[in-house]
């Protein structure tokens, strides 16, 4: 799913649209107007709309297909599927339904856990150099500063979500931080569970099956 690799910031909506267009068009024939390519593209649009929601409209490729559905024989069905995908997005965002888990989460977890260990190592060094024990707010500030200035691409993509996790799960974060052996994988599962509505144990089990 494209949403799992969505950068935090774009300079413009045009840049966001171009990024979505590139993701949708990856691996397709160069001629998006051919019937076969159009059907494949439509399926991608429906699938990505479930998690990208309103962002999908910024893609010129999506706009092209929306216009084409006005006259194509399958147009009514396509509009219905597109609308259904938007409804699913809204239900996910409002925690009415659980969102799908990205097939790439197993790899994402491995790379993010590696970054977490390094980030918390740097965080630990700051704590040791501090004159007094930092507050939860101070830890959150240092964590944000470390991620913003260091090489942590997987954590940076979801920086806002991680900062929210630090704020709402203060006890869990501090417990992990003070643990003799930093439980990075467990912290990742708890963060993803808080972000999606799943239970941490369910997240761990589902991600484990993705490597098979």
**Of 93, 115, 130, which marks where a domain is finished?**
93
Same domain? For 163 and 86 the reply is no
Same domain? For 31 and 117 the reply is no
Same domain? For 190 and 167 the reply is yes
**Of 93, 120, 143, which marks where a domain is finished?**
93
pLDDT of residue 71: 95
99 found inside a domain: no
pLDDT of residue 80: 97
Residue-wise pLDDT tens digits, 175-186: 888 887 889 999
173 found inside a domain: yes
> With a threshold of 0.75, does the pTM exceed it?
no
**Of 58, 93, 128, which marks where a domain is finished?**
93
pLDDT of residue 30: 65
100 found inside a domain: no
111 found inside a domain: yes
Q: Based on the structure, what is the number of domains in the chain?
A: 2
HSE at residue 125, side-chain half, CA atoms within 13 A, is 6
Structural domain that includes position 172: 105-210
pLDDT of residue 211: 64
One pLDDT digit (tens) per residue for the chain, 212 residues:
555 556 556 778 898 899 899 989 888 876 666 888 899 999 999 999 998 899 999 999 999 999 999 999 999 999 999 999 999 999 988 889 888 777 778 888 999 999 999 999 999 888 888 878 888 888 889 999 999 888 998 898 888 889 989 888 888 888 888 887 889 999 999 998 888 888 889 888 888 887 65
Dihedral over alpha carbons 39, 42, 47, 49 (to 10 degrees): 180
98 found inside a domain: no
24 found inside a domain: yes
Same domain? For 123 and 195 the reply is yes
129 found inside a domain: yes
């Amino acid at each position: 799913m494209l949403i799992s690799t969505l950068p935090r910031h774009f300079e413009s909506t045009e840049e966001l649209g171009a990024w979505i267009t590139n993701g949708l068009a990856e691996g397709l024939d160069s001629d998006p107007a051919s019937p076969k390519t159009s059907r494949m593209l439509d399926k991608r649009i429906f699938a990505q709309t479930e998690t990208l929601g309103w962002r999908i409209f910024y893609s010129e490729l999506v706009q092209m297909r929306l216009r084409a559905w006005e006259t194509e024989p399958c147009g009514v069905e396509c509009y219905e599927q597109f609308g259904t995908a938007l409804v699913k997005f809204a239900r996910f965002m409002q925690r009415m339904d659980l969102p799908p888990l990205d097939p790439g989460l197993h790899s994402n977890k491995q790379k993010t856990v590696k970054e977490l260990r390094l980030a918390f190592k740097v965080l630990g060094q700051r704590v040791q150099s501090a004159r007094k024990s930092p507050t939860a707010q101070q830890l959150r500030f240092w964590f944000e500063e470390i991620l913003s200035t260091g090489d942590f691409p997987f954590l940076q993509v979801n920086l806002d979500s991680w900062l929210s996790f630090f704020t709402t799960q203060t006890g869990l974060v501090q417990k992990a931080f003070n643990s003799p052996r930093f439980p990075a994988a467990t912290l990742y599962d708890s963060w993803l569970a808080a972000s999606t509505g799943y239970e941490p144990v369910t997240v761990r089990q589902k991600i484990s099956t993705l490597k098979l």
